[in-house]
Structure 1
Amino acid sequence: MTTAAVRPADLGFLWTLPGVYAPQEDTRLLARALLAEGVTAGMDVLDVCTGSGALAVLAARMGARVSATDISRRAVLTAQLNAARARQRVQVRRGDLSAPWGGRTFDVVVSNPPYVPARGRRPPLWGRARAWDAGRDGRHVVDRICAHAPRLLRPHGVLLMVHSGLCGTDTTLRQLTAAGLTCSVTDRAYVPFGRVLTQRLPWLRAQGLIGPHEDKEELVVIRAERS
């Protein structure tokens, strides 16, 4: 299937079990980046923190060989079901980041990880909030992906990751650059605060993460390439 036949809007058909992150604006933003990357048949793609499997299914529809992981059993089942419903082959395994795939490397790694700052110093071990809470600075998973990326990518392989500006875009760029990758912000969007951010606005403002008059969240897509 050509990229012209695949649209981020097509992600709306996906089904999610309760407690699994449903595709939202960040998913669509990352889907657009994946389409722009020009994934083709024969390429190996890894979707880290796959959730509903939206990006994994999209990559499979573009012709790639797709692997996906999530720490949540419900997310793994949801991704498997969505791949089956879309009649696409996606290998989904439960585990931490890339651990289920051993020492394999990939042409493209995509990730929409948990990135919302939360009161807890560490993310929850269970419950719905596990899909978005990521420690006090929102970087518990983002930092680990930055550290893992160089050994996941083949030469000229690419990491595509989306996260909120609240957890520090410049920090991500610095970490990926220090790891030897060439990186930049390739897309961004400003979206109204969703339910999660709205519920914790007083705390976020007290932490200085959101200004008193801000009413939108910045989402960024970061592209990092191994030389």
Structure 2
Amino acid sequence: MVAAPARGPGPHSIRIRFRRCAVSHSVLTSGALPGGLIVLPGVYQPQADTHFLAEALAQEDIGAGTDALEIGTGAGALALQAAGRGARVTAVDVSWPAVATARLNARRRRLPVRVLHGDFAERTAGRRFDLIVANPPYVPASAARPPSRGPERAWDAGPDGRWIIDRICARARTLLRPGGALLMVHSAMCGPEETVDRLTGAGLAAGITARTSVPWGPVLRSRRAWLEGQGLAAEAEEWEELVIIRAQSL
């Protein structure tokens, strides 16, 4: 996922001390994704939404010469998937630990992924891509704006869950080359029809291409009362619907 931009330490401030931090190894079940990823503390662990998006990405025509962008790379799983198929990949994240993690995983696999720190719109200004992949923060939260730090940056996205989704919709056409495609995953709580409408209104051919349901995780369970009060979840609801939205530049 991508989080809201915020100030952070410079690149030379990152120190990876394996003796002092609990580094986890992600064991992924999706056949499309590379396994054995290192995930540093505070970085979004690849989960069901990552696997779901990976399966959609596996259906895209990717090869040598494909310029791909991952918005909110996290541990770099999807960027590595695209690079492993020959794409030239740029990956962006606002989290320095995520940037360090993605770079580390790319180097371990000797894949040429360019991982940049910062806001995706700023770091990609003037560039265009054949493929964009995004797993943005989409969990509705009571705060008007997403947090500026902490692991919650990877999932909290404002009261309607659309803080980053709407920014991606607004930039997609500018970032895509003619014939290029955007793949984005998010929760049905966030209004997938609105996402499709925004992308269509921007001049892209957009639609929902896949749906799946996953059990509620600890984040949703912890804010059940608030979600029910906002009309975003039914009483005693236990499953979250995820959608894949694909938009193509005409």
More helix by share: 1
* Correspondence for 2:66: 43
Query: Unmatched 5+ residue regions in structure 1?
Result: 1-5
Secondary structure at 2:171 match in 1: helix
Specify which of 107, 129, 134 is matched with residue 130 of structure 2.
107
AA partner of residue 87 (structure 2): A
Secondary structure at 2:213 match in 1: strand
Q: Are positions 1:137 and 2:163 aligned together? A: no
CA contact 1:11–1:23 (8 Å) conserved in 2: no
Percent identity for Structure 1 against Structure 2:
54
* Correspondence for 2:21: none
Specify which of 177, 183, 186 is matched with residue 206 of structure 2.
183
Runs of 4+ in 1 over 2 A off after TM superposition: none
- How far does the alpha carbon of each residue in 1:40-84 deviate from its partner, in whole angstroms, 9 at most, with x for none? 111000001111111100000011000010011111111101111
* Correspondence for 2:119: 96
AA partner of residue 31 (structure 2): R
Distance 1:52 1:150 in 2: 26
* Correspondence for 2:240: 217
- How far does the alpha carbon of each residue in 1:105-164 deviate from its partner, in whole angstroms, 9 at most, with x for none? 000000001110001010000001001000010000000000000000000000000000
Specify which of 135, 147, 151 is matched with residue 128 of structure 1.
151
Distance 1:134 1:195 in 2: 16
Give the paired residue count. Answer: 221
* Correspondence for 2:54: 31
Specify which of 166, 187, 190 is matched with residue 164 of structure 1.
187
Query: Unmatched 5+ residue regions in structure 2?
Result: 1-29
AA partner of residue 197 (structure 1): L
Secondary structure at 1:15 match in 2: strand
Root-mean-square deviation (Å): 1.1
AA partner of residue 78 (structure 1): T
Distance 1:208 1:170 in 2: 17
Secondary structure at 2:42 match in 1: coil
Distance 1:135 1:97 in 2: 18
TM score, norm. by length of structure 1: 0.95
TM score, norm. by length of structure 2: 0.86
Instruction: Give 1:85 shift.
Output: 1.5
